[in-house]
Structure 1
Amino acid sequence: MGPGTTVRWRRRVRGWRRAGCAALIAGAVALPLSGAARPEIPAPAPAALAAPTAATLENAYAANRANAAQASRMAADHGDRHRAAADRALADPSRHLLAFDGRGAGLVTEVLGDLAHADRVAVLVPGSDTGIDTYGRFRAAALALHRQLAAEAPEGIRTAVVAWLGYETPGTVSTTVATTGRADRAAPGLRDLVDDLGRITGPDTRVALLCHSYGSVVCARAADGLAVSDIALIGSPGTGADTAAGLRSEARIWAGRGADDWVEHVPHVSADLFGTTVGFGTDPVSPDFGARVFDAGDGGHSDYFDTGSLSLTNLARIALGETTEVTHG
């Protein structure tokens, strides 16, 4: 196969991918896809706690670990060993759970580092198919970022990472992943978290949101007037806004996409289908959107927080406020 034939073949494959993604988005509304419903796993109601402060952090961590331990026992009694093990891991004395809800797919907010004394805080917001059963991969990304921040931070700058699984994420193949409905419901919770961080850390701490995939839609819906310094849209299908200015945020808006990320082939359109608005509009890495585009390297949709990757390095620099060190895409 000659060079010209190879180029034509690649273009044809890209075209098939785009057509397939467009059909999937339309089908997600017109012909809902669903598997057998998973039986509800019993779990206790979340611990009843006052809004956290620096003085009450350790008590909050302990109460949420105790709740996770109870959820583990209930899941084990129900016969779900996988969920029981996941809950038990979260109940370990080393874990710092700012929030926990074991019901349904599950919600977790976990802190890595000394939040009460942090000068820079990065909040990770996940995309689709993230719950307690798959939480390990999300936490691995948070751990990688935490290590990178510690390595990159100037002397005397203390850092923390908050892994915020604070909303019911959509399934990758579902009626909800192509609309803003879940994001609209999630946005108030993200705003509450940022308010909590301000109360815990104090006014001089900088908070950055690092928002992956559908999580970028959540961040966009919460962005208006939010007290954060930076918002990074990572592997984003779009935000529902036409431009970065449309987010109505004083934060620096960043966008990055890996060269091998399949999101590139998602049609960046917004259309009314069957009474529902489907799609998220302008591509965040396009000049029309107006974000600061950072170099996210050659990785795929799940590779942004790989140790040693260019994307992880740039995300750490964004979180640290070292904007002149960020390499641009």
Structure 2
Amino acid sequence: MALARTARDSGGERRRGTSRGTSRGTSWVRALLAASITAAIVVPLSAAARPEVPAPAPAALAPLTPSTLGEAYTANRANAEKASRMAAAHGDRRRAAADRSLAGPARRLLAFDGRGAGLATEVFGDLAHADRVAVVVPGSDTSLDTYARFHTAAAALHRELTRQAPPGTRTAVVAWLGYRTPGTVSTTVLTAGRAEQAAPHLRDFVGELRRVTGPHTRLTLVCHSYGSVVCGRAADHLAVDDLALIGSPGTGADKASALHTPARVWAARGSEDWVAEVPHVRADLLVTTVGFGTDPVSPAFGARVFDAGDADHSGYFTPGSTALTNLARIVLGDTSEVTHD
């Protein structure tokens, strides 16, 4: 998710989302109303300026099992290659390049859909034999056009897991771009609408994943920014062991217990992440609800807060960072080594 930065205090210190008064919340609601009206005018015009990129329908696949993973990878790479050719013929070189990269022989795609903004689910590691699996759920402005940065984040997490894993422990990471993310400047980024649409798909995917990995594999959802809103909507009795919320604007729940998840709920925010400056409130505006409620790193939410160092909003997967080190520890189940904020 990406929202406009709010102003800094006159003393230069950032205002923290856990200590805001009623008057500031009211000002924020007014600002959101103004932003919503502006976005309602600007975004449709900007979206209309970009023509739809043609692409084939997704490949027809057998149900995912350990024995069908290879077939899925092959079919989805072929579909991405066809999508690349169609995008190139349409004159969209950026999309053609993105699709062509995903069609590479080393890519392991569980799913691919080149239509519209595009969807893709990619595996890093040996999913069928993994003991520890992380599913990374992205935030706003993640699409096939921007997929490279999401790929980089998931690959970094897998490398860190490989580095930290004890001998004999096998790991995998799944980059799940399984929903149409909201735009950075749009009315949708301020509400849970996209998350509500995405949540059933995430729940279904976790069910598929469990059929591939088996019930004893430790499974963690790593939910970044608006992706944490998606995870919050999907969490109810979802079969995952850990839920890590990073750079979260909120989940829509007042407390971690309200997510009704059997998973341990973790939360972190880097000291340079501008989400700290966003008021964590929820307000009814016209015909919708704006905002996502309690700050997940606040004591009131009740998550296990871990240290993310000086990460900015895009820095949680930076190699060598405190945030990435702790995320890997959570995925591996080595929680006694997680450093706390």
Which of the five TM-score ranges fits, normalised by the shorter chain? over 0.9
Alignment coverage as a number of residue pairs: 323
Contact 1:29 1:273 in 2 (8 A): no
Secondary structure of the equivalent of 1:161? strand
Among candidates 51, 54, 60, match of residue 39 of structure 1:
51
Secondary structure of the equivalent of 2:12? helix
Among candidates 215, 222, 225, match of residue 213 of structure 1:
225
TM superposition shift of 1:230: 0.2
Please state if 1:159 is matched with 2:146: no
TM superposition shift of 1:9: 2.5
Q: Which residue is equivalent to 1:25?
A: 32
Q: Which residue is equivalent to 1:3?
A: none
Q: Which residue is equivalent to 1:304?
A: 316
Specify whether residues 20 and 170 from structure 1 end up closer, same or farther in structure 2 by C-alpha distance, changes over 3 A only: farther
> Residues 141-156 of structure 1: matches in 2 within 5 Å?
141-156=153-168
> Residues 46-57 of structure 1: matches in 2 within 5 Å?
46-57=58-69
Q: Give the residue type in structure 1 aligned to 2:206.
A: V
Secondary structure of the equivalent of 2:262? coil
Structure 1 unaligned runs (5+)? 1-5
Q: Give the residue type in structure 1 aligned to 2:219.
A: V
Looking at structure 2, the residues matched to 219 and 309 of structure 1 have their Cα atoms a distance apart, in angstroms, of 24
Specify whether residues 84 and 19 from structure 1 end up closer, same or farther in structure 2 by C-alpha distance, changes over 3 A only: farther
Deviations 1:233-276 (A, max 9, x none): 00000000000000000100000000010101111110011111
Deviations 1:51-89 (A, max 9, x none): 210000000000000100000010001000110011001
Q: Give the residue type in structure 1 aligned to 2:183.
A: G
Tell me the TM-score normalized by structure 1. 0.94
Among candidates 101, 107, 111, match of residue 113 of structure 2:
101
Q: Give the residue type in structure 2 aligned to 1:167.
A: Y
Q: Give the residue type in structure 2 aligned to 1:205.
A: T
Specify whether residues 192 and 21 from structure 1 end up closer, same or farther in structure 2 by C-alpha distance, changes over 3 A only: same
Q: CA RMSD in A?
A: 1.9
Please state if 1:71 is matched with 2:86: no
Structure 2 unaligned runs (5+)? 1-7
Aligned sequence identity (%): 68
Structure 1 residue runs of 4 or more that deviate by more than 4 Å after TM superposition: 11-15, 17-24
TM superposition shift of 1:36: 4.5
Looking at structure 2, the residues matched to 224 and 92 of structure 1 have their Cα atoms a distance apart, in angstroms, of 36
Looking at structure 2, the residues matched to 8 and 77 of structure 1 have their Cα atoms a distance apart, in angstroms, of 53
Q: Give the residue type in structure 2 aligned to 1:199.
A: R
TM superposition shift of 1:196: 1.0
Tell me the TM-score normalized by structure 2. 0.91
Looking at structure 2, the residues matched to 36 and 214 of structure 1 have their Cα atoms a distance apart, in angstroms, of 20
Q: Which residue is equivalent to 2:11?
A: 9
TM superposition shift of 1:193: 1.1
TM superposition shift of 1:19: 9.3
Secondary structure of the equivalent of 1:327? coil
Q: Give the residue type in structure 1 aligned to 2:293.
A: G
